[in-house]
Amino acid sequence: MKAYGKNIRISPKKLRLVAEVIRWEDAEKALNFLKFAPKKWADILYKVLHSAVSNAQHNDKQNLSNLYVSSLIIHKWIVYKRWQAVSRWRMHPILKRTSNIVLELQAK
């Protein structure tokens, strides 16, 4: 029972902060935590976890109370390079990082 989030426009470092909290947690507890967490990236992880739970319930006939987050991997993906003009015709780079999420649930 897997779910993926691909090409998400948030740096992996920020996503890993919230991912550490829900790794190895029950799916129900993790959903409740992510729903009320005050971070933008918690909403993104909530959507991926909700998708994995829905896949487990629909495809494998699993109960929500029996599921837990067995693995949550956040990969670095494409880095968009932009430039900001500064004085004297110089440029400073702006790196817009993206990430991928791989979330896997298992039954107890």
Q: List the strands of the sheet with 90-107, edge to edge.
A: 2-8, 90-107, 67-86
What span, in angstroms and rounded, lies between the C-alpha atoms of 18 and 30? Answer: 10
* pTM for this predicted structure: 0.91
| Class of CATH domain 2-107 | alpha beta
Tell me what pLDDT residue 86 has.
Answer: 96
Does 39 score more than 90 pLDDT?
Answer: no
Tell me what pLDDT residue 10 has.
Answer: 94
Mean pLDDT of the chain: 95
Tell me what pLDDT residue 16 has.
Answer: 94
Does 99 score more than 90 pLDDT?
Answer: yes
Does 62 score more than 90 pLDDT?
Answer: yes
Does 82 score more than 90 pLDDT?
Answer: yes
Tell me what pLDDT residue 5 has.
Answer: 96
Residue pair 75/12 in contact (Cβ under 8 Å)? The answer is: yes
* Average pLDDT of span 31-52: 94
Contacts of 19 (CB under 8 A, 6+ apart): 45, 72, 74
